Amino acid sequence: MIPVNEPYLSNREKELLCECIDTGWVSSEGPFVKKFENDFAKYIGHKYGIAVCNGTAALEVGLHAIGVGEGDEVIMPSFTIISCALAVLRLGAKPVLVDIVPDIWNMDVSQIESKITNKTKAIMPVHIYGHSVDMDPLMEIAKKYNLKVIEDASQAHGTEYKGQRLGSIGEVSTFSFYANKIISCGEGGMILTSSEEMMEKAKKYRNLYFEPEKRFLHQELGYNFRMTNLQAALGVAQMEKIDYFVETKRKFGKYYRQKLQDVAGIRFQEEKSWCKSVYWMYSIEIDKDINLEAPELMEKLREKGIGSRPFFLGLHEQPAFHKRGLFVGESYPHTEFSARKGLYLPSGLTLTEGQVDTVCNTLEQIMMKYKSPS
């Protein structure tokens, strides 16, 4: 089986994990947490890093840090993981959705302005599959309406927008270090900012809002979202290889594109001139004229020993939100199409050219059985 993802782990990760065990520093008080925060913040281009237990927690902490609360609205794409909306709801705010640009599956910035109300507090661009949202016009809208920008760059470690690393553009950014991310701690997340005030709010919220002068006095309510020293040790070891990881992801992204360019009936994610993608997931979409949807293609690949995963089902189609009266009757056609026709192929850092050849040759053989109507 060619897995859809396999993390790249080496003796260095084992060495730092053993150091945690040998020294007894396994909790969130260990020294690797601060080092990981500093290393990652420096790499992306923000002043402060606040490490947390996972990417979902990072979104909630980041939203709290920019002041999102009861009754506020946050604009985001429907085409994203449920964590983005969940974090907004947990703070008593409301997610407001826009559709995607179909060739890159990122939020359609041209739809944002029509969704702004007097309750809008922030815009959350979610950089999808290693490609950037078009940030310049988004930032112009945010400035015009005095809105905060919180980047979800969980899928874009090392991606650049016009030479600037994603996660360094908004006031706050969030990252995930789940096992399939370019930098992986198994689980883990981080909030980045250059605002000392937002950093302090984020640090308190992740740590039960303990007051530094009087530990068990709580002026506000927070949560235990701390990252352990064990998780951070993995992150520190991974950061030593990040340039190699990004180079590898881009190399195989280009190789996939080259191999698939003549396969009829599918398309690869476009790379815009203003983006240097890291191709976090090597994603394809089946043409509208092909009588084949993603689940069926995934099953055919699985039968040939090839792992794959579907695209996101839009937030506006989630029953859990409909039960709460959210997004009822809303439609985002490009999101709906991609949810049914899109999937990603094996995308791990341990891939070989031979495995990519096998995937692409198998995909071509399957697609030859499906013809566009003449």
pLDDT tens digits along 307-340: 999 999 999 999 999 999 999 999 999 999 999 9
What's the fold here for domain 242-367?
A: Aspartate Aminotransferase, domain 1 (3.90.1150)
Average confidence score pLDDT of the chain: 97
Q: Give the DSSP per-residue string, 82-140.
A: THHHHHHHHTT-EEEEE-EETTTTEE-GGGTGGG--TTEEEE--B--TT----HHHHHH
Please, are residues 60 and 81 in contact by the beta-carbon 8 Å criterion?
Answer: no
**Is there a contact between 192 and 44 (Cβ–Cβ < 8 Å)?**
yes
List for the chain the helix, strand, coil content (%; round to 5): 40, 15, 45
Per the listing, tokens 């009822």 go with: 328
Cα–Cα distance, 196 to 238 (Å, whole number) = 27
**Predicted local confidence at residue 371, as pLDDT:** 72
Q: How many Å apart are CA 277 and CA 128, to the nearest integer?
A: 10
Q: Tell me how far apart the alpha carbons of residues 184 and 237 are, in angstroms, rounded to a whole number.
A: 10
Nearest to 112 by CA among 103, 102, 100, 104: 100
**219-246, pLDDT tens digit by residue?**
999 999 999 999 999 999 999 999 999 9
Q: Is the pTM of this model over 0.95?
A: yes
pLDDT at 374: 56
Read off the tokens for 165. 């690393």
Each residue's pLDDT tens digit, 156-196: 999 999 999 999 999 999 999 999 999 999 999 999 999 99
- For residue range 9-57, list pLDDT tens digits in order: 999 999 999 999 999 999 999 999 999 999 999 999 999 999 999 999 9
Q: Are 100 and 77 in contact (CB under 8 A)?
A: yes
Q: Which two tokens stand for residue 98?
A: 């826009």
The reply to whether 242-367 shares the fold of 11-239 is: no
CB contact burial 36-58 (16+ within 10 A = b; e otherwise): bbebbbebbebebbbbbbbbbbb
pLDDT in tens, 125-159: 999 999 999 999 999 999 999 999 999 999 999 99
Element (H, E) at 201: helix 196-205
At 107, the pLDDT band (50, 70, 90 cuts) reads very high
CATH topology of domain 11-239: Aspartate Aminotransferase; domain 2 (3.40.640)
191: part of which helix (H) or strand (E)? strand 189-193
The reported pLDDT for the residue numbered 372 is 64
- In Å, what is the CA distance from 261 to each residue of 245, 266, 284? 24, 9, 11
Locate the domains of the chain by residue range. Answer: 11-239, 242-367
Phi, psi of 262, rounded to the nearest 5 degrees: -105, 10
Cα distances from 177 to residues 155, 198, 219, 238, in angstroms, run: 9, 21, 31, 10
